[in-house]
Structure 1
Amino acid sequence: MAKVTLIFKLPYYTEWGQSLIIAGSAPALGSWNVKQGLALSPVHEGNALVWCGQVSVPAVFTCEYSYHVVDDHKNVLRREAGEKKKLVVPEGVKDGDVVEVRDWWQDASEALFLRSAFKNVIFSATDNAKRQLQSPSLSKTLDPEDIVVQFIISCPRLAAGSTVVVTGSNLAVGNWKAQNGLKLNYVGDSIWKAYCVLRKSEFPVKYKYCQVSEAGVSSLEFGPNREVDVDLSSPKPSRHILLSDGSLRV
């Protein structure tokens, strides 16, 4: 059976004596038993404290999971708010590939906007219900210099008829021109996704998400540029990077 290595990375600041564990629906993530989940280790990346862990899973793999802050005895001190995260290993991965999940901690304020009752009252989630579901696909044959980046963003407050694109510092994402940006597909539950194939030499890439109205008017999200980079010094760099970027900053 083909296997891939999943690497999870989550920027999160903890206090002394605290650590992070992933618990999920798959046996590799403890079958929801936190004490048997995947323990993460902290690494300093610039000014950020990033919690990392890896696990081997089948190449065809889907699960739900969430992050938990625990004490030295693996007692849960804090857990993510809201619904469980969903992970789907991308199609086309090969035996031995490394799939990197760059994640985010969902706090209570973000979880509130994702609750269907709140969305129905405030932002008319019925508009999302009318959107056509599409599965992002990757048709390109990869060579050793290619890295597949999957952009994943939650847009619970998207205006009716709007779509989402990624634009940034690379031709594949439009060179900061929204009209040439990478169009994302709506996959349900307010989530938009798209694949992009980049050469190793093209990293790092700065980018932002942009909403495009039904009339074609584009507006970039607020805040600083996002960035994706790869560690080419690693003996086996990630072949697939899943950018779980949280919510659109509006």
Structure 2
Amino acid sequence: MCIISFHQGDHPTYKLIVAANRDEFYNRPTAAANWWEDHPQLLAGRDLRAGGTWMALTKDGRFAALTNYRDMANEHPNRQTRGEIVPSFVLGDDTPEAFLEKLHQNRAQYNGFNVLVGSVDKLMYYANRQGEITSVPPGTHTVSNAFLNTPWPKVDRARKMLAEYVHSVDIVDVDVLFEQLALVERAPDDLLPNTGVPQELERALSSIFIETDRYGTRASTVLLVTHDNDVTFIERTFERGKFKNDVTFTFTLED
């Protein structure tokens, strides 16, 4: 997943609002979001090559989401898959702090990543290239392929759009969030980050919704959790930039 915007902690209706895009190579096999057969309490999409996932929620409200940290000069193909981190947390019973401390001790086993772990009530953040475990304060935040709230143009835009919208309404219209996730406008060259990829690719990756010949946004996900623990989870999948399917899950979290 390559951009996650979320709002937590101070909305009158929702304890957690998430709008996120997962970007991946088009030929990487993926299963759409569903309750996993081998772990029926876990709701998530699935990477069918490595078996992990990028965002997951359990029936009792454990939540995690992950993005890669883009630093091509320090990518190594034989490191452990980052997609195992999300299910490892949500299927376990470690506190977020304990889980992230263990992850920090093993941080060198993975290529760069950002991860949010916790519950629908409170999230913690960790990036292995940064090494700090932090509690995410209330409000609106966005993480892409640098650190949390790094001021890349797409991050600033996504964060501002979500913040302005959620502060203007008591009831979120999921279509508005999907519209925000579908924006294809690219950043001007003078504002592009330098992450070790050619400038043409850097330019293509600067939009919130990405579409290139071989790589792009494969899924957009909206998650809403009310203060009554009612959940709406919608995943919209794409095939080479074109709409493919929506799957929707509504349920109430277990005590």
Question: TM tier, shorter chain?
Answer: under 0.3
TM-score with structure 2 length normalisation?
A: 0.27
Larger radius of gyration: 1
TM-score with structure 1 length normalisation?
A: 0.27
Structure with the higher fraction of residues in helix conformation: 2
| Bigger relative contact order, structure 1 or 2 (CA pairs below 8 A, ≥6 apart) | 2
